[in-house]
Amino acid sequence: MYSSGNRRFASKFAMLLSLVGLFCLLVANQGAMAQSSNGQITGLVTDSSGAAVAGVEIDATNSATGVAYRGTTNGSGIYVLSQLVPGPYKVSLNKGGFATVERPGLTVRTGDHLSLDFNLKPATTKEVVTVTESAPLLQSDQSSASTVLDNKMITELPQLNRNSLDLTQVIPQVQGRGPLSDQISTLGNATYLIANNGNSYAVSGGQVNGTTILVDGNFVQDSEFNAVNRAIPTPDSIGEFRVETGVLTADHGRYSGGVITMNTKSGTNNFHGRLFEYFRNQLLNSNGWQNNSIGETLQPFHQNNYGFSVGGPVSIPHVYNGANRTFFFFGWEGERYNIGQAAITTVPTALQRNGDFSQTIIGFPNGPTGTPNYASIFDPFHISGGVRPEYAGVPGAPVGANGLVGGKICSQADITGGTCPAGNQNLSLQSALFANYMALWPLPNHTPGPDGYSGNRVDSIAVTRPTDRFFLRADENLSNNQRLNLSVSRTHMTNNIPAPWAHAARSFTYDHDVTGSLQYNWVLSPTSILDAHLGFGVAKLYSDGVSGDGSDPDPNIDTTKWGFDPLITSNPSRTTREIPPVLNIGAVPGSQGFSSVGGSQFDTFINQTENATVGYTKVMGRHTIKVGYEQYYYRFNENGGDHTGVAWINNGGGSMQDWQNPGDTTTGFPLAELMMGSSHVFQWGNWNISPYGFNEAAYAMDDWKVNRKLTVQLGLRWDHDGARSPKSFAPGQASPLMYDMNARNVLTPNAGWNWGQVTSAEPGLSSLPQPAWLSQGATGRVVLLHSPEYPQKNLYQTDLNNFQPRLGIAYALNDKTVLHGSAGIIDEGLNGLSTDWFSFYYNTITMGQISSLDGQNWISELGFDHGLGTFPTQAGGTNLGYYPAIRTNQAYGFQTFGQAANPDQGGASTINHFQSPEDYTWDFSVQRQLGNSWVMTADYTGIRGIHLLMPLWGWSTNNVPLADYSLGQHLFDQVPNPFFGQSQTFNSQPTIQLSQLLGLSPQYSSITPGQATWGRSRSNFFNLQIQSRGYHGLTLLASYSIRKTLTNSWGKDIQHGGPAGSGLLQNPHNLMEAYGVAGYELPQTWLLNYSYELPFGRGRQLMSNGDSFGYKVPSVPGGQTVPGAALRESLAPGVRVLKTTNYSSALMDANGNFINNNQGVFNTNAFVRTPDFGLANSPFVYPNIRNPGSVFTDLTLLKKFPFSAEGSRYFELRLEAQNIFNHANFNQIDNNMNDATFGGVKGKTGQRIMQIGARIFF
């Protein structure tokens, strides 16, 4: 019993927790979806005659915590016990005149809806009847399907990445392996991608990255990319992992295919915990397949994961005893990652540094031993008669297979010293500004590749990545009918990739994430229950040296004296003179590009989610009615740019022999471009972007227990995605944009211009009909919002009538067989809509150097060697390619007309209206219990998706009509510009490329929505599985799955580009052209995951008697467990081969079998390249030609050494392995017809990786 002092302290402690809850409510002032991950027990109580018994008191007591959940049957004999924390329970029933019934050993798992019916026996004296039947394995009152992994399975399965979401790989309904950038070690200096990459999960045929992920009921994904907050609790803190699929009840929404739920561990009445250490290094792993092929050994590598977890009652001696009342659980895990890497870079050779490219190879048209092509250089600054003069080579320079010689760009010293070839003395000399860059590269120190320069320097670096993860949970039993639990998870990671040499790229990334959940349950009466939930998440990532565009400052450098255009050095975004703008030099096909130097690009991503939900449950007769409301709040902030004031400098493309054909690979060299001053300087501005929004949802549902066998679940849900808005419209913030697709007569032709001027400009155009925009008006305009013309503050509009009816039926044929059926509409939500990328103009000074307006005459340069400057002054006083900050739509149009509609994002801008992505879903399943420990399930799910969010970044609405493809090269003809003088670009462009005038938006070179809800899909998923729980020490899940998905959208976020998002449509006027087999589809998978306790030693079948060796020496036999997972994906995504007009006899093997030999997979002679400006006749995806399948076999071997007789305290050794048999899996087939390896397989992947672990349980 508590003393009065203890009661007062308990009251104060409860008040403290309530204040914490109130604080969280204030912090979570608005909300996102939060759905409970706790369990529920419901059922019918009858007497021996079968009549319902009212007023029966029912207690479910958690055996670990002593916390009791109480209820009473209503007049129909129905009871409901909700919000049960997962764990072991004993259920007791009491009613005067009847014997007391007790059912111990019942396990409630995450999200369980258990149906327990009881029959009461009359009794005149006190009598207790104990029910000993096994716990129910069938879901007899729930229509959806689910798969659950408990903590034992979670912690025993191989977990080399220590990422709880990796458990999806052992769930048969889940396809995909997490975020595209899930393995941070593979990202290099693009670590920032973990902040804007959604998942690649597809659940039961649902849309990729349409999955909802919950931790303790808290939604842990952001709005911009649907990316997961990295503060997911570690496996040691996860109590259960559940995937629920199909048509869920109406209190679940905003998902596609299914929901992933994790419920964390809570403390108990006894103190328990564990200490652990996991160790990995290169000696435990197999060498990579590529390393084996080139004779490279493994680099030194060390990774240590260590930590502890502990849980129990909150107890302060002589002050407070929290047994049966207050509990805590705390976990910490640290990871220390250190790997040595050989940094292979490419730097200019001694000859190249002197402008001599006579030995620079740019291709091997006759094979590696034949005569190569040399880097013939042409001067775009001295065109004579429409011809670019070629630089002469040094005496004795070899002649390439193209009949040309590698040229030499002379310096002033060559002119003075007489070492400049005579033909080059009147051509462009080496740029004085570029000479400063040349001095930043070190000299080569390594044997180069066949081209004479690739990979010519090797340095050693050490990549480090310390990570710490914390988790805390507190549970408070406020009273017999009120309960509260709070959980908080935090992750802190730093990724540091040093530069291999001074001025080279280096990368530093800091990631700090936190999530939290507060759940409250109040049993108002035996038939009335109130549930409330608050949740939040913050993910903050800062990256310096984004994408390799970052180097350390050098106090010996002063870029203001280098000779840059004054408009660059005076840019207020420039905050350093000790780092030059980054130089990114393109690569010649087949060779490595030169390593970047300079740059200081930084970016900060802050994702904030807050959520609140309230639900009220009322039991009325055989009906359990629940109504609820959910409030969402999302906020995203990105603040970034480049401290040098320039995003990057590229080569300008001026030395190509055929400058109208970017595909010409026989001449020119990127380094020579910049050396002569041909450049492209780009700055998209420094940015501060902060969109936010509110979403709402409401639902009403009825679980109708018609009788013992039949349960009907009815529901209606309403979801609304509120439009996002900028947090601020103040100067210095990025300006919100919107693509008004319906705008008409955006620009009109100049007086005196007519279509006849176009048709008479070039031979062969005389019969060309005038385009539609001349009669319909030039359509589409990207505009600034919060302006007089467009006063709206919301970035877009959404639908309000998103009602979703749901129906589910569960029917028990008998106590061993249950049928489930369901159908309904599910709103996916607009999570993944990247307003950050497409809804803002970085409204600071921006730059986009225009080297040439006609593709022939170069009008700007890197410095002032030719007197042109980077941004030449125009007649009106503006500088071409230089754009000051703007505030009006007139100014924005003057800046953008003639080029991309959104200069920052390649013409992409958010459209004005988004429909609600919806899945029409139906599901049918049969469950059959076999014996006491086995369940077999056959489950089918069908989904028809409409209005799916899809990326369109690589697609433009200003497309050339198909009928005009026949113009061929005439599409590049320069014709009289109807808008000459109407914008900055048009001011200097009296002619324009013909192709730009043929679409409906001739005022833009490119314009696209970026994303739209124009996707469609139809999928069928079937899964057959058998599962056991504790059958003679064996826990097993074996499954076989079949799926078929037809779609034109390969994922909702921008990272899953798909056909349109990747710019791969042949007919850009038809987005349904690519509707067909999904490129990510895995049509068949076999899965086996298991944990088997070997039957040796004390308490086991073998060697367990007192005289046996195993009993006396338990450390030798006994305590061994073998958990593992085997996944075989027999068929991988379909193969895409672009631009072919013939594909008969495509496979080397007519039956489609994979051939592992030098012949490859394709019969390359069966493919004929599509002519330029022609259409292929091949399908977008070959549904019957598949990439190689894959097999993964992961295994854990563990041995327990007990400290106590009951076995709860022990020491454990474990060996974990991914791909333990080192089975070679193959990469995809090379589908690029330009590659010499077309039709072959791109190497092997997936070598064995192992780690050793030790754990102490107490």
Instruction: Express each pLDDT in 112-149 by its tens digit.
Output: 888 888 989 887 666 677 765 555 667 777 888 888 88
Q: Which residue has the higher pLDDT, 877 or 1002?
A: 1002
In DSSP notation, 890-954 reads HHHHHHHTTSBSSGGGTTB--BSEEPPPEEEEEEEEEEEEETTTEEEEEEEEEEEEEEEEEE-TT
Q: HSE-up of 1040 (CA within 13 Å, CB side)? A: 3
Please give the DSSP secondary-structure letter assigned to residue 1137.
-
Measured between alpha carbons, how far is 372 from 365 in angstroms, rounded to an integer? 6
pLDDT digits (tens, 9 = 90+) for 275-289: 999 999 988 888 877
Sole residue written with tokens 């798969």? 147
Mean pLDDT to the nearest integer, 5-30? 41
CB atoms within 10 A of CB 662: 10
1213-1218 average pLDDT score: 92
DSSP symbol at 55: S
Task: Note whether 85 and 66 are within 8 A (CB).
Answer: no
Backbone angles phi, psi at 845, to 5 degrees: -65, 125
* pLDDT of amino acid 9: 41
pLDDT at 665: 61
Higher pLDDT, 1135 or 1194: 1194
Alpha-carbon distance 162 to 182, whole Å? 12
Helix (H, G, I), strand (E, B) or coil at 347: coil
Q: What is the pLDDT of residue 334?
A: 96
User: What average pLDDT does the structure give for the chain?
Assistant: 86
At 541, the pLDDT band (50, 70, 90 cuts) reads very high
Helices (H), 429-480: 432-438
Q: Model confidence over 626-648: pLDDT tens digits?
A: 999 999 999 999 999 999 999 99
In one-letter notation, the amino acid at residue 721 is D
Letter string b/e over residues 134-145, b meaning 16 or more CB atoms within 10 A of that residue's CB? ebbbbbbbbbbb
- DSSP at 548: G
Rounded distance between C-alpha atoms, residue 1076 and residue 18, angstroms: 54
Distances 244 to 147, 213, 1086 between C-alpha atoms, Å: 7, 11, 19
Give the C-alpha separation, 1021 to 1016, whole Å. Answer: 17
Q: What angle do CA 48, 53, 59 make, to 5 degrees?
A: 105
> Is the CA virtual torsion 454, 457, 460, 466 positive or negative?
negative
Model confidence at 305: pLDDT above 70? yes
**395 or 1121, which is more confident?**
395
What does each C-alpha distance from 938 to 172, 203, 363, 821, 1164 come to in angstroms?
12, 16, 57, 12, 42
Whether the pLDDT of residue 427 is over 60: the answer is yes
Spell out where 1071-1159 has E strands: 1076-1077, 1084-1093, 1120-1131, 1134-1135, 1140-1142
Task: Using the CB atoms, write b or e for 233-258: b if 16+ within 10 Å.
Answer: bbbbbbbbbbbbbbbbbbbbbbbbbb
Which of 141-155, 309-323, 745-759 is predicted least confidently? 141-155
- Reply yes or no on whether the pLDDT at 12 is more than 60: no
Structure tokens at 10: 């308990």
Say yes or no to pLDDT of 534 above 70: yes
- Which segment of 344-348, 578-582, 844-848, 920-924 scores lowest on mean pLDDT? 844-848
**Residue 1015 reports pLDDT greater than 90:** yes
Residue 311 pLDDT = 96
Report the pLDDT averaged over residues 821-846.
Answer: 92
* 194 close to 179: Cβ distance less than 8 angstroms: yes
* SS3 of residue 434 by DSSP: helix
Please say if the pLDDT value at position 16 is more than 80.
Answer: no
Digit-coded pLDDT (tens) for 925-982:
999 999 888 999 999 999 999 999 999 988 888 889 988 999 988 998 899 999 999 9
- Kindly state the average pLDDT of the residues 776-788: 94
pLDDT of residue 1096: 67
d(CA 291, CA 294): 5
pLDDT digits 0-9 by tens, 474-521: 999 999 889 999 999 999 999 999 999 999 999 999 999 999 999 999
Pairing of strands 39-46, 118-119: parallel
Q: Tell me if 1222 sits within 8 A of 1247, measured CB to CB.
A: yes
How far apart are alpha carbons 1251 and 280 in whole angstroms? Answer: 5
Mean pLDDT across the stretch 988-1000? 91
Classify burial at 274, counting beta carbons within 10 Å of its beta carbon; exposed 0-12, middle 13-18, buried 19 or more. Answer: middle
Q: Pull the structure tokens for residue 351.
A: 């000859």
Q: DSSP 3-state helix, strand, coil percentages of the chain (rounded to 5)?
A: 10, 40, 45
| Interval 34-63 mean pLDDT | 85
Query: Model confidence at 11, in pLDDT bands (50, 70, 90)?
Result: very low
Which helix (H) or strand (E) segment is 482 a member of?
strand 482-497
Tell me what the mean pLDDT of segment 32-37 comes to: 50
Q: How far apart are CA 858 and CA 870, in angstroms?
A: 11
pLDDT attached to residue 229 = 92
Residue 324, helix vs strand vs coil: coil
Share of the chain above pLDDT 70, in %: 89
The pLDDT of residue 1105 is 57
- Contact yes or no for 259/243 (Cβ under 8 A): yes
CB atoms within 10 A of CB 1240: 18
Report whether 901 contacts 889 (CB < 8 A).
Answer: no
Give the list of residues 6+ apart from residue 891 with CB closer than 8 angstroms, or none: none
Q: Compute the radius of gyration of the chain from its Cα atoms.
A: 34
Q: Which of 449, 161, 435, 451 is nearest to 280 (CA)?
A: 161
Residue ranges per domain, the chain? 1-27, 1094-1258
Both tokens assigned to 845: 């000074």
pLDDT score for 1118: 56
Q: CA 1245 to CA 1223: how far, in whole Å?
A: 9
Contact 337, 303 (CB under 8 A): yes
Q: What is the pLDDT of residue 1144?
A: 52
Q: Which two tokens stand for residue 203?
A: 């659940």
pLDDT of residue 1101: 60
Which amino acid does the sequence have at 1066? Q
| 1139 pLDDT tier (thresholds 50, 70, 90) | low
| Band (662; pLDDT cuts 50, 70, 90) | low
Specify the DSSP element, H or E, that contains 639: strand 623-642
Q: How confident is the model at residue 654, as a pLDDT?
A: 80
Q: What is the pTM of this model?
A: 0.86
